[in-house]
Structure 1
Amino acid sequence: MGEIRVGTCSWTDKALVASGWYPAGSRDAEGRLRHYATRFPVVEVDSTYYGLPSIRNSLLWADRTPDGFRFDVKAFSLLTGHPTRPHALPADLRPAFVRDPGRNGVDPGLLDEVWQRYSAALEPLRAAGRLGTLLFQFPARLVPGRPAEEFVRRCRERAAGWPVAVEFRHPGWWRGEQADATAALLTDVDAAAVAVDMVRTLPASVPPVVRVTRPGLAVVRLHGRNSAWGTGTKEERFRHTYTTDELREWVPRVHEMAERADEVHVLFNNCCGDAAVRAAESMRCLLGSHRVAPCD
């Protein structure tokens, strides 16, 4: 059975820092990461969705975590087709972004340059053995069909040689017969499918389909089950306290994934106060997964 690693989708979230979860003396940037890494063996980097990472941060993250720790790093928004503010780009690239009249305001040459800078900044993290995967989270407007599949393939080609996981936000990718085609696409491009837990009663709800499409890694992201998904503030969308029964639903699914993948990452994104770290601690105990801190 593959190794199961449980963690959260951020260690720097303002609500988490304000919750008091970090002990006194561990509340600066270095102390937070070092403390987090004593509690969990994996974390997601969210900041790289909003702006390009830096070599300096990659070196610091590697230095402040133990051997074997994993960072799953979100792809920059421009690379996944999300709306991106020009000021999120380095200053020298902004004119090309603003001037280009093409679809989404992006030309392939600009995307190639953005990818080169993004990947170069993460190379120290990969060289240190800390990189788990790059997470390509595609927007809900990416609807299943040939143009979308071609876009996914272009993204994967750009990231050739790097581990990639894919989360689709449009529910059609994992509904009915399309689920088999989606799994086949991700298998063909050597990308890990991300299984999703979220509220299940909305038209935009992604079903909790589990597929292992890359033998090296499988990923689960648990967003909480708040019916305000897609509306309101971040706190309103992600405010949810997982019950033990809700977590238990995922235990057989995660074990099934671990039977087919070398490593499974289970990441909580219900980032409101300390809800994510508490849910991760509970899930870690239910799964009997690899841990540093003991179960309560």
Structure 2
Amino acid sequence: MGRIRVGTCSWTDKALVASGWYPKGRRDAEGRLRHYAEQFPVAEVDSTYYGLPSTRNSLLWADRTPDGFRFDVKAFSLLTGHPTRPEALPADLRPALVGQRGRGGVDPGLLDEVWDRYSAALEPLRASGRLGTVVFQFPARLVPGRAAVEFLRRCRDRATGWPMAVEFRHPGWWRGEQADATAALLTELDTAAVAVDMVQTLPMSVPPVVRVTTPELALVRLHGRNSAWGTGTKEERFRHAYTPAELAEWVPRVRAMAERAREVHVLFNNCCGDAAVRAAQAMRHLLGLS
């Protein structure tokens, strides 16, 4: 039986900080992370999607968490094919990105340089044993097909030697017969498939398919079940308080994943107020972890 770790997709979310979940005296950057790490053994870093991480932050994160803590880190937007503002890049790389606009793609050399800087900044987490995986969350426009498979292979080649997990935002990857082909591809690439929980009433709802595609890690990301997904503000999209019954649906699935993977990470992304930490605490209780 693999180890099950439950946590949230951010410990710095403004709504969480404002909720009062952090006690007085522990609301600065260091205090928040130390307090969070006393409650949960894993956290997702989402800031690395919006901008390149820094070695300094990685060193601080490692120093402020106990041995055995894990960080799952989101891949930078440019690496996953998302629109990226030049301001999100270091100043010396911005002209290269601006020069690529309207040319139907980003220069592979720029992507290689971005990946080199991204991975160098995360090296302290890996060296300290605190890196769980790098989460490549792909946009909904990445639809199943030859071009997408080639893109996935290039991403995996770029991340050779690094743990990698993939979350698809287009539901076609996990529908019908395609689900088997998707699982086979990720297994070949030694990449963890991210199981998703979200509202299931929308055309672009990703089904909650569970596939373990690498023996090292299985990952679940629970986004909440708000029908405003894809519209409105962040608070509107992710506002959802998981009920005990909704959480219980995942208990047998998570345990089955732990039968096949050395670690299972269950991360709550319903980051509105303290909803995510409350759901994570409830899930730990249901799984017998607390």
Letter aligned with residue 119 of structure 2: S
Letter aligned with residue 141 of structure 1: R
1:274 corresponds to: 274
- How much does 1:103 deviate? 5.1
Letter aligned with residue 63 of structure 2: D
Encode CA deviations 1:242-282: one digit per residue, 9 max, x unaligned: 00000000000000100000000000000000000000000
2:245 corresponds to: 245
1:64 corresponds to: 64
SS of residue paired to 2:259: helix
In the alignment, the residues of structure 1 paired with residue 238 and residue 208 of structure 2 have an alpha-carbon distance, to the nearest angstrom, of 17
In the alignment, the residues of structure 1 paired with residue 177 and residue 275 of structure 2 have an alpha-carbon distance, to the nearest angstrom, of 35
Match status 1:133 vs 2:94: no
2:79 corresponds to: 79
In the alignment, the residues of structure 2 paired with residue 104 and residue 247 of structure 1 have an alpha-carbon distance, to the nearest angstrom, of 42
The 5 Å alignment of 1:103-252 reads: 104-252=104-252
List alignment gaps of at least 5 residues for structure 1: 290-294
SS of residue paired to 1:49: helix
Percent identity of equivalent pairs: 85
In the alignment, the residues of structure 1 paired with residue 205 and residue 54 of structure 2 have an alpha-carbon distance, to the nearest angstrom, of 34
Encode CA deviations 1:197-251: one digit per residue, 9 max, x unaligned: 0000100100000000010000000000000000000000000000000000000
1:43 corresponds to: 43
In the alignment, the residues of structure 1 paired with residue 27 and residue 101 of structure 2 have an alpha-carbon distance, to the nearest angstrom, of 45
2:263 corresponds to: 263
In the alignment, the residues of structure 1 paired with residue 243 and residue 104 of structure 2 have an alpha-carbon distance, to the nearest angstrom, of 40
Letter aligned with residue 5 of structure 1: R
- How much does 1:66 deviate? 0.1
Match status 1:92 vs 2:69: no
SS of residue paired to 1:260: coil
Letter aligned with residue 135 of structure 1: V
In the alignment, the residues of structure 1 paired with residue 108 and residue 269 of structure 2 have an alpha-carbon distance, to the nearest angstrom, of 31
In the alignment, the residues of structure 1 paired with residue 157 and residue 105 of structure 2 have an alpha-carbon distance, to the nearest angstrom, of 20
Letter aligned with residue 227 of structure 2: S
- How much does 1:105 deviate? 4.3
Encode CA deviations 1:143-175: one digit per residue, 9 max, x unaligned: 000000100110010000000000000000000
SS of residue paired to 1:56: helix
Is the contact made by 1:133 and 1:165 (CA closer than 8 Å) also made in structure 2?
A: yes
- How much does 1:42 deviate? 0.1
Is the contact made by 1:221 and 1:267 (CA closer than 8 Å) also made in structure 2?
A: yes
In the alignment, the residues of structure 1 paired with residue 189 and residue 102 of structure 2 have an alpha-carbon distance, to the nearest angstrom, of 26
SS of residue paired to 1:125: helix
- How much does 1:31 deviate? 0.1
2:21 corresponds to: 21
Encode CA deviations 1:91-143: one digit per residue, 9 max, x unaligned: 00011111125655411000000000000000011001100000000000000
Label 1:111 to 1:22 Cα distance change in 2 as closer, same or farther (>3 A).
same
RMSD: 0.8
Letter aligned with residue 87 of structure 2: H
The TM-score, its normalising length taken from structure 1, stands at 0.97
Is the contact made by 1:86 and 1:98 (CA closer than 8 Å) also made in structure 2?
A: yes
Label 1:166 to 1:270 Cα distance change in 2 as closer, same or farther (>3 A).
same
SS of residue paired to 2:119: helix
Q: Which moved more, 1:95-104 or 1:145-154?
A: 95-104
1:292 corresponds to: none
- How much does 1:70 deviate? 0.1
* Aligned residue pairs, count: 290
Is the contact made by 1:44 and 1:73 (CA closer than 8 Å) also made in structure 2?
A: yes
SS of residue paired to 2:144: coil
List alignment gaps of at least 5 residues for structure 2: none
SS of residue paired to 1:7: strand
